[in-house]
Structure 1
Amino acid sequence: MFEIAVCDDNALDRKSLIERIEKNMPEPESMRIHEYDSGKSLLNSIKGIRFSIIFLDIQMGELSGEETAIRIREMDNNVILVFNTGFVEPSPRSFEVQPYRYIMKNMAADVMDRYIKDALKRMIEFSQAPLMKASVNREMLFLKADDIVYIEKYKKSTRVYISENAIKIYGIKADHNGQLPDIRIQEKLESIYEKLMVYGFGYPHDSFLINFKYLIYCTGKALKLKDVDCMFPITRSKAVEFNKLKQEFMLSKYKEGEL
């Protein structure tokens, strides 16, 4: 069951958006909508419900949509966020929480329907992404694609670096020196790439894969990922395919007329 949250302190706006979501549901029997009139009530529900997608107003009393989104990301790094607002333009803080879409309430009906359909389609695609079987401290760990920042070749296996939020969610603890344990996947990098390339991963170098979701800077020869100090090189042999996948990812996220 896909759990969908609609959070807006305006009852009429909630009703209107819910009607549009219901109209555009590709699989109505597998989707359930929950509505909230404040960021606080939504955050309380997240403790007991694993939402697949959240439609979130930005201008709300007491707790704004941006602040609510920041707190959501502290609890769940994978849920799809869609900002839905009447007046506010996106700020740098808006993009820090990685919204998938930014919908204006005064959009033309056909455009809004297209954005909603696309967000729901993305929600379904995410649910179909494979879980990656990994190990940490000799214990099994099943990682979602969105948990992974990058994967590198390491000896005869691969080593995985996951997001800070994922580290918290999985309860992975550092040792007394502050070092996190290695997370390994016992597969070749090439075979992992075949599984993940359609879910927003690129292969810029023979030694590692990266998740475009965490890409914050990229030139023709190097890239930088969120929460990672080093720069990653892009080799000439991988550049064409890598840039093609990067462009497809960016276009799927920020289409013409979107932010």
Structure 2
Amino acid sequence: MIRIAVVEDEELYAGQLQNYISKYAEERKKQIKVTWFQDGEDIVSGYKGEYDIILLDIQMRFMDGMTAAEKIRELDSEVVLMFITNMIQYAVRGYEVDAMDYVVKPVEYFAFSQKLDKAIGRIQKKTEVFLKVPVEDGVKKLNVAEILYIESVGHNVIYRMESGKYLSRTALKELEATMKPYGFFRCGKGFLVNMKRVDGISGSDCIIEGERVPVSRSRKKEFMELLIQYMDEG
């Protein structure tokens, strides 16, 4: 199932785009779910990162498409963005938010279908795994491969990434089963470590990107066996 959001304040154009997407889905034998938002504010509010492609009108009444795209990019680096505009000069700014393309009004079906081919092709090529994490501002998509470790802090966890830290109200115990298939190991009471990112061990700590993470005595043997396995694979 491909999920597409249409953010367009003009009902005529919104209806046209939805009809085009339905026609495209029938021709290409694709399952596509479309959600319509009438303003940038509507999609940004409570954004949960559930869309694969977002079509954004640049000029809207309350929040323009460019501003909405900037806010979406803060939480979701992977969704494919395409702008809808009758003023091409504005579309050029799309590079600032890593937009894939733009659609010029009035929209013609053939050109639109070609752009959808490109967008869906980009989605299907992705092999990276992303985790949707509830954060203070909404939901953020984290690349699992870039998570160094997850630390329990009270009733929250901290995701330690290459790019920084993200606090989320989640129990570490609940994450243990979720993260295990991606190479994460519970090395102690308060830590899940990405075994693929461990550089080595020093005393009772493992070393990840120069940081020390404690390994409990009861789990050290299993940790060492896993570490040797991942080093052999790498």
TM-score, reference length from structure 1: 0.49
CA separation in 1, counterparts of 2:55 and 2:166?
22
* Aligned: 1:54 with 2:54: yes
* Aligned: 1:28 with 2:30: yes
CA separation in 2, counterparts of 1:72 and 1:135?
21
* Aligned: 1:136 with 2:136: no
Other structure's SS at 2:103 match: strand
Could you say which residue in structure 2 is the equivalent of 1:69? 69
Other structure's SS at 1:116 match: helix
1:113 maps to amino acid: S
CA separation in 2, counterparts of 1:14 and 1:96?
25
Other structure's SS at 2:84 match: strand
Once the 2 structures are TM-superposed, how far is the Cα of residue 123 of structure 1 from its aligned partner? Answer: 2.4
2:13 maps to amino acid: D
CA separation in 2, counterparts of 1:89 and 1:98?
16
Once the 2 structures are TM-superposed, how far is the Cα of residue 138 of structure 1 from its aligned partner? Answer: 7.0
Q: How does 1:239-258 map to 2 (within 5 A)?
A: none
Q: How does 1:145-224 map to 2 (within 5 A)?
A: 162=162, 164=163, 167=164, 185=196
Once the 2 structures are TM-superposed, how far is the Cα of residue 39 of structure 1 from its aligned partner? Answer: 0.6
Q: Show CA shifts across 1:19-65 (max 9, x none).
A: 11222234533x21100100111112524x51111011101112111
CA contact (8 A) 1:8 1:36 kept: yes
CA separation in 2, counterparts of 1:125 and 1:170?
30
Could you say which residue in structure 1 is the equivalent of 2:38? 37
1:40 maps to amino acid: E
CA separation in 1, counterparts of 2:113 and 2:23?
8
Once the 2 structures are TM-superposed, how far is the Cα of residue 107 of structure 1 from its aligned partner? Answer: 5.1
Report the structure number with the largest CA radius of gyration.
Answer: 2
Structure 2 unpaired stretches of 5+: 130-143, 152-160, 169-192, 199-234
1:43 maps to amino acid: V
CA separation in 2, counterparts of 1:51 and 1:169?
22
* Aligned: 1:109 with 2:109: yes
**Judging changes above 3 Å, is the alpha-carbon distance between structure 1 residues 69 and 184 closer, same or farther for their aligned structure 2 residues?**
farther
Which structure is higher in RCO with an 8 Å CA cutoff and minimum separation 6?
A: 1
TM-score, reference length from structure 2: 0.54
Once the 2 structures are TM-superposed, how far is the Cα of residue 69 of structure 1 from its aligned partner? Answer: 0.5
**Judging changes above 3 Å, is the alpha-carbon distance between structure 1 residues 85 and 134 closer, same or farther for their aligned structure 2 residues?**
closer
CA contact (8 A) 1:24 1:117 kept: no
CA separation in 2, counterparts of 1:137 and 1:92?
38
CA separation in 1, counterparts of 2:41 and 2:73?
14
Could you say which residue in structure 2 is the equivalent of 1:249? none
Once the 2 structures are TM-superposed, how far is the Cα of residue 110 of structure 1 from its aligned partner? Answer: 1.8
CA contact (8 A) 1:134 1:185 kept: no
Structure 1 vs Structure 2: percent identity of aligned residues? 25
Once the 2 structures are TM-superposed, how far is the Cα of residue 108 of structure 1 from its aligned partner? Answer: 4.2
Could you say which residue in structure 1 is the equivalent of 2:82? 82
Other structure's SS at 2:90 match: coil
CA separation in 2, counterparts of 1:68 and 1:41?
9
CA separation in 2, counterparts of 1:110 and 1:135?
41
Other structure's SS at 2:95 match: helix
